[in-house]
A = this chain, B = another copy of it.
Amino acid sequence: MNFASDNWAGAHPQIAEALTNNAGGYASAYGTGDLDKQVERIFCDVFERDVAVFFVGTGTAANSLSLAWAARPGGVAFCHAEAHAIEDEGGAPEYLTGGARLKGVAGRLGRMDPNALGAAIREHPAEFVHAGQPMAASITQATEIGTLYSLDDIETIAGICREADIPLHLDGARFANALVALDTTPAQMTWKRGVDIVSFGGTKNGCWCAEAIVVLDPAKVGQMHFLRKRAAQLFSKSRFIASQFEAYFRDDLWLKTARHANAMARELATALSAAEGVRLAWQPQANEVFALMSAEKAKALQASGARFYPWKPPLSFASEIRDGDVLHRFVTSFATEPSEITQFADLLQG
């Protein structure tokens, strides 16, 4: 019963196997090998257009370099006030962009409010050097708290970005979970709705370590090659990332693992809803479930072997928390066993 995080899971057997299968022989280094090229073409297929792909080692690197790609001096990047880039990346986005500011924008349940975004941008008029200048907006899909932007939401935000002449970044650490939840295509969830650059995460969904920056219009690749190298993110044996992605996309493994994780989350939510002294904080839309219960209740469950943690309440939700209730997060993944859910459901009933 481990619902601690989707990065507590290891690697999907097919990912591990792919690495073993590709371990032999010689391949040109630093992303120039045949497998690297082949996987780049797979990305083009997945996104239904030519895209430029840059493998990197961590989601933080993908986000930080996507913003570095968009950076301007005195630049301000707009993201949800509780975005991963703000709360959990230890200053990497600021550092790797040469000191950009991440401006937190308000919004219900992890999603930037378009009006708030527009207002925040307008506080930084293009020619007013004192306030800094807008350089990018960033949305997280699925969000940090397991909610989703609809395709129309994305389009609305992209429109605001276009007006402000700034690119739109999508932090897709849980890209696959969002994709299958919305039952849409990568193209629809990104460039067809105005996204310019994507942090495409494989790690949380079954890879060991496979993240890619996808520049959706290859004509706008700019300085990304040098930015990645300068950030020490160009891997010599780059095929070890390519191999993972090759297996990830083969036979739609990535969609299957994401569907599984989301299904497990729904079942977990059902179990939590049914339990006394527990209520869902909001409906899960991807692979994270948030529930309120007393600290005592949580401790009892944990003592019985369930692994999950308290979570800082979103500002937009704080007022809905009753005295004595504590918000907790439960995360599912490709590795979650149905038996973990039923065992936990029993525990909740017990």
Binding site for B on A (CB under 8 A): 2, 4-5, 7-13, 15-17, 19-20, 22-30, 56-61, 64-65, 68, 72-76, 87-92, 94-102, 123, 127, 129-133, 203-204, 208-209, 223, 225-237, 239-240, 307, 312, 335
- The 7 A-B pairs at the shortest CB distance, nearest first, are namely A90-B229, A74-B91, A61-B232, A7-B236, A94-B99, A95-B99, A57-B57
Are A57 and B232 in contact (CB-based, < 8 A)?
A: yes
Say whether B58 contacts A233, CB under 8 Å.
yes
Q: Is the CB of B27 within 8 A of A23?
A: no
User: Are the CB atoms of A229 and B75 closer together than 8 Å?
Assistant: no
Contact check: which of B5, B28, B73, B96 meets A232 at CB < 8 Å? B96
Flag if B11 contacts A72 (CB, 8 Å).
no
Residues in B with CB closer than 8 Å to A23 are 10-13, 15-16, 208
Interface of A is mostly: loop
Contact across chains for A10 and B237 when beta carbons are under 8 A apart: yes
Give the most central of A15, A61, A133, A236: most B CB within 10 Å.
A236
Question: A92 touching B230 by the CB < 8 A rule?
Answer: yes
Q: List the B side residues contacting A204 at CB < 8 Å.
A: 236
A212 to chain B, nearest CB (A): 14
Chain B residues near A28 (CB, 8 Å)? 4, 8
Given contacts A27-B8, A233-B57, contact A94 B101 (CB under 8 A): yes
Known: A2-B26, A27-B8. A130 touches B73 (CB 8 A): no
Minimal Cβ-Cβ distance residue in B for A65: B232
Say yes or no: B11 contacts A229, CB within 8 Å. no
Q: Is the CB of A101 within 8 A of B90?
A: no
Q: Is the CB of A90 within 8 A of B129?
A: yes
Name the CB-closest residue of B to A225. Answer: B129
What residues of chain B lie closer than 8 Å to A97, measured between beta carbons? 99
Bound state CA distance, A260 and B77, in angstroms?
42
Given contacts A19-B11, A26-B2, A232 and B229 within 8 Å (CB-CB): no
> What are 23 A-B contacts with C-beta separation under 8 Å?
A7-B30, A7-B237, A10-B23, A10-B27, A11-B23, A13-B23, A26-B335, A56-B232, A57-B58, A58-B234, A74-B95, A74-B226, A76-B91, A88-B130, A89-B229, A90-B130, A91-B101, A91-B226, A92-B229, A94-B100, A101-B102, A130-B229, A208-B237
A223 touches B9 (CB 8 A): no
The answer to whether A90 and B74 touch (CB under 8 A), given A5-B29, A22-B10, A232-B231, is yes
Complex interface: chain B residues within 8 A of A16 (CB): 19-20, 23
> Is B10 touching A24 in the complex (CB atoms < 8 A)?
yes
Contacts of A4 in B (CB 8 A): 26, 28
Residues on B with beta carbons closer than 8 Å to the beta carbon of A2: 26
Q: Is the CB of A90 within 8 A of B132?
A: yes
Name the CB-closest residue of B to A15. Answer: B23
Contacts of A101 in B (CB 8 A): 91, 94, 101-102
Known A-B contacts A17-B20, A232-B58, A234-B58; the reply to A208 vs B91 at CB < 8 A is no
Query: Which residue of the partner chain, among B22, B29, B58, B100, contacts A91 with CB atoms under 8 Å?
Result: B100
Q: Is the CB of B57 within 8 A of A75?
A: no
Pairwise interchain contact A73-B19, C-beta atoms closer than 8 A: no
CB distance from A323 to the nearest CB of B (A): 18
